[in-house]
Amino acid sequence: MSDLKSLLVEQLQDLYDAEQQITRALPKMASAANDEELKTAFQEHLEQTRGHVDRLERAFGMLDESAVTKSCAGIRGILKEGEEALEKDLNGSVKDALLIAGAQRVEHYEIAGYGTVAAWADELGLDDVADLLGETLDEEEEADDRLSKIAEGGLLASGVNEEAKTH
């Protein structure tokens, strides 16, 4: 890479592939979830993720670049670990706790990626691109927070982690 803009494009290609991989994985995760709130969170995040793909395509357009993918080995590895976890013979809440752990690994990867590219776009004076990427960053952070709340529970209900302790 010869400059920051080239790095930005390369990392957007990586995120573009990651989002497409996640789009394929989320229906499996929703199907495997036992907790209804978790199942709903995965289904709703699938729709958000489709929006992330659209935003990335718009960002490529703003940069006069083609929307192409660069294989994202990081997400591939995280998702592979998640698939292996799904093959384990676990009861409902224990499996849900493991699903949340895997999903949060994905979210943290995305938060790091989108934080970086949004900062780079801002540094390059690409305010529209930075704003677009910032929207996705905000949604990824919200998804991570939601998963934490499902795991930890709240005032009215125990969380998945509490239920998993007793199994």
In this predicted model, what pLDDT tens digit does every residue of 118-130 receive, in sequence order? Answer: 999 999 999 999 9
In this predicted model, what pLDDT tens digit does every residue of 43-54 receive, in sequence order? Answer: 999 999 999 999
- Phi/psi for 158 (5° steps) reads -75, 160
Q: What is the spatial distance between Cα 85 and Cα 98, in angstroms, rounded to a whole number?
A: 7
> In sequence order, which residues have a C-beta less than 8 Å from that of residue 165 and are 6 or more positions away?
none
pTM of the model: 0.91
For the chain, what is the domain count? 1
Q: Which domain holds residue 76?
A: 4-165
CATH number for position 107 = 1.20.1260.10
In this predicted model, what pLDDT tens digit does every residue of 72-110 receive, in sequence order? Answer: 999 999 999 988 878 888 888 889 999 999 999 999 999
- Phi/psi for 30 (5° steps) reads -65, -40
